[in-house]
């Protein structure tokens, strides 16, 4: 099996219109567990996530996987805060990535139905995807990402607009994926969610890594006053 990690960022930066959206960032990520990126609104969380994934342009510095970049990207999936629904059935939406990879229609749909059951969408598989609730759409997005068996799963605030029950369901799916060996790199504004899911926390401020630690250490004894203030719910600028 091709090794994707370690993933090393050195002075990595993404800019738009002359403004740094994230970076420069120096970061080394290993191949197991869940890294949760937190920080104030506007701190660059989404930009950093997109930069690591390859969806944002690298303006300066380097991002180096332990394998060729194209190979690493083949083994990744990304779940957005607001998932895009194709105007097809739920099952067809879930099957779509497999069809792009050349899997036959019947085989892809069989796998899609299996994944639909696994994420709690058994009763919705033949419905048009756009009619689903927000929580159901996010479950669909997760099934669509996980059906390709990605080695790395990127998630950008996947529960931002969901109620407690839907959030619990999504977190269960993510915990199962992590237990099965999927590497998770995720942003969230929800400190409780970060406590529940994180193996390590990356605290971003002004586009830079301001604090980083194993989750239990970060939440018990953050290394900076800004991180401590953020955990208290104070406004951090």
What residues in the chain have per-residue pLDDT under 50? none
Whole-structure pTM value: 0.94
Q: Is residue 101 domain-resident?
A: no
Confidence at residue 18, expressed as pLDDT on a 0 to 100 scale: 83
Q: Is residue 113 domain-resident?
A: no
Q: Is residue 196 domain-resident?
A: yes
Domain assignment of residue 55, given as a range: 7-85+132-232
Q: Is residue 218 domain-resident?
A: yes
Q: Is residue 149 domain-resident?
A: yes
Distance CA 71, CA 77 (A): 13
Q: Is residue 40 domain-resident?
A: yes
The CATH number linked to 36 is: 3.40.50.300
Structure tokens at 143: 């099934």
Q: Is residue 124 domain-resident?
A: no
Distance CA 202, CA 188 (A): 11
Q: Based on the structure, what is the number of domains in the chain?
A: 1
Distance CA 200, CA 236 (A): 21
Q: Is residue 226 domain-resident?
A: yes
The dihedral over CA atoms of 91, 74, 171, 185, expressed in degrees to the nearest 10, equals -160
Q: Which residue has the tokens 């099996």?
A: 1
Nearest by Cα to 94 from 144, 131, 137: 144
């Amino acid at each position: 099996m091709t090794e994707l990690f370690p993933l090393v960022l050195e002075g990595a930066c993404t800019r738009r219109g002359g403004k740094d959206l994230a970076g420069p960032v120096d970061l080394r990520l290993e191949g197991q567990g869940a890294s949760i990126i937190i920080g104030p609104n506007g701190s660059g969380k989404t930009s950093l996530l997109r930069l690591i994934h390859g969806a944002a342009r690298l303006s300066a510095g380097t991002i180096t996987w332990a394998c060729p970049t194209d190979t690493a990207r083949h083994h990744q999936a990304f779940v957005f805060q607001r998932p895009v629904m194709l105007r097809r059935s739920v099952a067809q939406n879930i099957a779509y990535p497999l069809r792009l990879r050349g899997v036959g229609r019947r085989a892809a749909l069989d796998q899609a139905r299996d994944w639909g059951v696994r994420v709690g969408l058994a009763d919705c598989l033949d419905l048009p995807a756009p009619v689903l609730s927000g929580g159901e759409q996010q479950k669909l997005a997760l099934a669509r990402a996980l059906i390709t068996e990605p080695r790395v799963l990127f998630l950008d605030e996947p529960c931002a607009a969901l109620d407690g029950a839907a959030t619990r369901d999504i977190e269960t799916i993510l915990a199962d994926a992590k237990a099965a060996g999927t590497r998770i790199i995720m942003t969230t504004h929800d400190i409780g969610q970060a406590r529940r899911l994180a193996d390590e926390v990356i605290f971003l401020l002004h586009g830079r890594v301001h604090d980083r630690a194993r989750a239990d250490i970060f939440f018990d004894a953050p290394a900076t006053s800004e991180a401590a203030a953020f955990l208290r719910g104070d406004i951090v600028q």
